[in-house]
Amino acid sequence: MQYQPATAVANPNIAFIKYWGNCDPDARVPANGSISMNLGGLESRTSVEFDPSLDADTLELGGETALQPARERVSQFLDHIRRMAGIEAHARVKSANNFPMGVGIASSASAFAALALAASRAAGQDLEEIELSRLARLGSGSACRSVPAGFVEWVVEGCGENSAAISIAGPEHWDLIDLVAIVSQEHKPVGSTEGHTLAYTSPLQVGRVADAPRRLDLCRGAILERDFDSLAMIMELDSNMMHGVMLTSSPALIYWLPETLTLMREVVRWRSAGLPVCYTIDAGPNVHVITLNEYADQVQARLRELPGVLDVLAARPGGAAQMVEIER
Ligand code: DP6
């Protein structure tokens, strides 16, 4: 059988309401729903070609042969697609990001969203967006949120395997911008997948999960009504709650650096003085500073003046994962 190669692109995303802890770790069904914004302009580009003459899957990341753990994770993901399409061929996978790794932007989200789209097409499957989101979730939980466009909710009902993400508003709905203040480029000591397994060792996780529907309602409402103050309040609370769980896990996960805390305090101070700005932090020390696009230059200039800020990346709301013309 002859397989056609396929190439897809997807944006990473920043969660305003976070995914932390799984109810079914193998199927990456999360303990709570989450809401995010795709990060336009930043992307993973992934090409896949199934080839019956290959003895094993191959994986190239940023032009270099990937290490065994990454190859293994991709192969296990491709197994889902092989089962779905009823094929046995191995695949040649090439992926590259246009943004630096290890800067507090989860590249696994954009990488697995692009891989889900490219690999399913290369295997002859034309999936609906919701099916694609569900598939991407199996590679990396947050990847399911990089499939639909703009502002996205990962909907969770019970511990069901159907959990997937849907767009709640398109990228043009609200002119927000994420200014990522980089304070460290070092690789994080404990990755998200391992971190999720520790969530329930914190006595705070049960309370965090129980309160999640309330935070999701507030966040969804703030986005739909373009209410920046309400978004700021719920986004910072949710980030602080996730880091509260991380700090009280066994062993404790301390992702912050002194510069992280300085940024958090400065952002809150600027907002008290009337600037529409708020922060959220993932599993790392870098701080995502969210503001309205018209304030972007001012906020970016202030961030660059702070001690310890090495760089600032900017991203506006991004679109859905999509296919691109095959380069020959
Ligand atoms: C802190 O999606 O990277 O960024 O499912 O194991 O791949 P895996 O984890 P991942 O976890 C993301 C954690 C987070 C919060 C979020 O993006 O919701």
To test ligand 1's pocket by mutation, which of 103, 192, 255 has the most ligand atoms within 8 angstroms of CB? 192
Q: Are 3 and 123 a contacting pair, CB within 8 Å?
A: yes
Per-residue pLDDT in tens (0 to 9) along the chain, 328 residues: 779 999 999 999 999 999 999 999 999 999 999 999 999 999 999 999 999 999 999 999 999 999 999 999 999 999 999 999 999 999 999 999 998 776 667 789 999 999 999 999 999 999 999 999 999 999 999 999 999 999 999 999 989 899 999 999 999 999 999 999 999 988 777 889 999 999 999 999 999 999 999 999 999 999 999 999 999 999 999 999 999 999 999 999 999 999 999 999 999 999 999 999 999 999 999 999 999 999 999 999 999 999 999 999 999 999 999 999 765 5
Using DSSP bridges, classify how beta strands 90-97 and 58-61 pair: parallel, antiparallel or unpaired: parallel
- 21 Cα–ligand 1 center, Å: 9
Radius of gyration of the chain (CA): 19
Closest CA to 95 of 187, 12, 163, 219: 12
State which ligand 1 atom lies nearest to the alpha carbon of 19: 18
- 82 Cα–ligand 1 center, Å: 25
State which ligand 1 atom lies nearest to the alpha carbon of 109: 2
State which ligand 1 atom lies nearest to the alpha carbon of 28: 5
Using DSSP bridges, classify how beta strands 64-65 and 6-10 pair: parallel, antiparallel or unpaired: unpaired
Ligand 1 atom 4 nearest Cα: 282
State which ligand 1 atom lies nearest to the alpha carbon of 34: 18
- Torsion sign over Cα 204, 199, 255, 35: negative
- 198 Cα–ligand 1 center, Å: 13
Q: Who lines ligand 1 at CB under 6 A? A: 15, 18-20, 28, 34, 106, 108, 140-142, 192-193, 196, 282-283
Q: Alpha helix (H) ranges present in the chain?
A: 68-85, 107-122, 129-139, 192-198, 205-210, 212-224, 228-247, 258-272, 296-305
- 228 Cα–ligand 1 center, Å: 24
Closest CA to 14 of 324, 314, 323, 321: 314
- 191 Cα–ligand 1 center, Å: 9
**3-state SS of the chain: helix, strand, coil percent to 5?**
40, 25, 35
State which ligand 1 atom lies nearest to the alpha carbon of 142: 2
| Predicted TM-score of the model (pTM) | 0.97
